[in-house]
Amino acid sequence: MFFQHVYDKTLAQASYFIGCQKAGVAAVIDPKRDIDTYLEIAKQNNMQITHIFETHIHADFLTGSRELAAVTGAKMYLSDEGGEGWEYEFAHEGLKHNSQVMIGNLKIDVLHTPGHTPESISFLLTDTPASKEPVMLFTGDFVFVGDIGRPDLLEKAAGLVGTQNKGAEQMYQSINLFSDLPDFIQVWPGHGAGSACGKALGAVPSTTVGYEKKRNWAFQYGADKAGFVQFLLTDQPEPPKYFAKMKELNKVNRPLLTEVPKIKALSSADFKAAMDQGIKVIDTRNKLDFQNGFIPGSINIQGNNAFATWMGWFVTYEEQFILIADATQMDDLTRKLMRIGLDNIFGFVDASKISQVYTGSLETSKMVTIDTVKANKEAEVIDIRGVAEFNSGHIAGAKNVFVGTLLQNLDQVPKDKPVIIHCQGGDRAAIGYSLLVKEGYTNIANYSGGINEWVKEQQPIVS
C-alpha cells in the first residue's frame, strides 16, 4: 500500500493519497483545489488516480474533487446519506453506510458518522494483502486529535435554524459507533490545530481509536448525553463568513479551475483606473511595513497562514480585488485564494514598486504603546478578538467587537472620542485599523502589542 498525507497548513486541512502499488491505481480523499500536488504524487509513483472520495460537503474549503475528476477521469465517490437537502447536485457514485469500494487490493468500508453535518461519512481502510483487519480510519470532520467536529456551523454560518442541537445529538450517537472500533486503528482526520471546525484540535497529524477513547474529551461523558451536548456547543469559535458560500459551491455545479492562474502585474495606469472604479485593494505585506506607509483605502490582510481565512471574511465572491504583494508570493497567494474559491483577482501591484504604481501620498498608522494604554483615561478600548477569547481575559473596561463582524457593528465604534483597538498579538488589529480608516475614522489608534504584551508585562485582566 502507498500512503501520503497532504497537509495545507493555511487552512489546517488534510487530504490523503492512497494507492495499490500492485494494481497501479490510487484514490484521493478530500482533495484541495490546486490539484497539481496529487498529479505529481501519482506521476512520481507510477499510479493512476481512479477514485476520489469526500467525507462530507465541506464548509471551510472548496474541494478539488471535480477538478481532479475532470483532469484524470477518476470517479467521485460521495455521500448519499443525510436526506433531503444534503444531496450533491452533480453526477457521482453514491455511498451509504456499509457501502464497500475496492481500489486495487485496498478495501474501503463506509461508515455514516453524522453530527458535524447530516451526510458525513468516514472511510475504514483495509490493506487486504497484509491483513483482514482494518488499518486506517479517515474521519473528515468527525473525530479529530483531541476533539470532535462542531455541529453548530450549519446554524451559525449557513443560517439553518435548529440544526445545532440535532447535530450534537447525532454526534453523540456517532462517537458511540467510533468507540466500538478496535483500539489499534489509526485515525487520520480532516483538520489539525488552527481549524475553525472545532475548538481544541491537536497539533499532531494522526491518532488511534484507543488513544482518543482515553484522552479525547468527547469520550469521557459516558451516559451523560446532556452534558456532552452542552459542552460541545459551548465556546466554539466564530465561523468565518465564507463558510456559507463553501457549503453552496461544494454541492452544486460550478466553473472548474484546473490550473493555478497567472495574475497580471498592474501598471500605474491600470491601477489608477481600477481605483477609480472602486475595486478593493488588499495589502498583503507584513503589518509593520503597512503601518509605515500604505495606500489610502487599502486593507491590510497579511499573506501568512491566516490569509485565506481573513480574505473570506472581507471579500465577497462577486467582487474583483487587487493584491499588493511581492511578485514571488503571487503563486502562493493565488493558491490560498483558490482553496476557498476567491478567483476574481483583478491583478496585483508588486510591493517593491508601490511608490511607482501609486503616485499619491501614502498614509501611516497611528500606533500606541502599552504605556499609553496603561495611562489611558479617555479613549474607548476595543478588543477585536473572538468572544470566547475576550471572556477568558481582557483589559478592564474594554468593549468586545469581533474583527470579523466589525463592519456590521460600526455603531459600536464611536467617532466622537479617541479609540484604541487591539487583539492578541497585532495581526487582527492591523486588519481592524485598516478597515476603520477605510470607513473614514480618524480617531483610531492601534495597540499592536495586544493581550500578549499586556499579560507579559503583568498587567491586570478581568474575565
pLDDT mean over 279-298? 98
Q: Where are any strands of DSSP class E within 98-245?
A: 100-103, 106-112, 121-127, 136-140, 186-189, 207-208
178: nearest Cα among 86, 106, 115, 95: 115
Contact 218, 191 (CB under 8 A): no
- Do 428 and 395 fall within a single domain? yes
Answer whether residue 136 is part of any domain.
yes
pLDDT-wise least confident of 38-47, 131-140, 150-159, 292-301: 150-159
Considering 335, 357, 379, which residue would you say is the last residue of a domain? 357
Q: Distance (Å, rounded) from C-alpha 234 to C-alpha 199?
A: 9
- Do 31 and 123 fall within a single domain? yes
- Do 343 and 403 fall within a single domain? no
Answer whether residue 301 is part of any domain.
yes
pLDDT-wise least confident of 121-135, 146-160, 277-291, 441-455: 146-160
Q: What is the pLDDT of residues 33-81, one digit of tens each?
A: 999 999 999 999 999 999 999 999 999 999 999 999 999 999 999 999 9
pLDDT mean over 114-126? 97
Q: What is the pLDDT of residues 178-208, one digit of tens each?
A: 999 999 999 999 999 888 777 778 889 999 9
Answer whether residue 258 is part of any domain.
no
- Do 24 and 79 fall within a single domain? yes
Q: Distance (Å, rounded) from C-alpha 37 to C-alpha 341?
A: 17
Answer whether residue 363 is part of any domain.
no
- Do 54 and 92 fall within a single domain? yes
Query: For the chain, what is the domain count?
Result: 3
| The predicted structure's pLDDT at residue 155 | 81
Q: What is the pLDDT of residues 294-311, one digit of tens each?
A: 999 999 999 999 999 999
Domain that holds residue 338: 268-357
Considering 328, 357, 386, which residue would you say is the last residue of a domain? 357
Place of cell 487552512: 11
- Do 29 and 71 fall within a single domain? yes
Assess whether pLDDT exceeds 80 at residue 160.
Answer: no
What percent of the chain lies above the pLDDT cut of 90?
Answer: 92
Answer whether residue 365 is part of any domain.
no
- Do 208 and 124 fall within a single domain? yes
The backbone region for 393, taken as left when phi is positive above 0, alpha when psi lies in -120 to 50, beta otherwise, is: left
| The predicted structure's pLDDT at residue 34 | 97
Q: What is the CATH number of the domain that holds 321?
A: 3.40.250.10
| The predicted structure's pLDDT at residue 199 | 79
Answer whether residue 156 is part of any domain.
yes
Q: Distance (Å, rounded) from C-alpha 51 to C-alpha 71?
A: 12
Answer whether residue 254 is part of any domain.
no
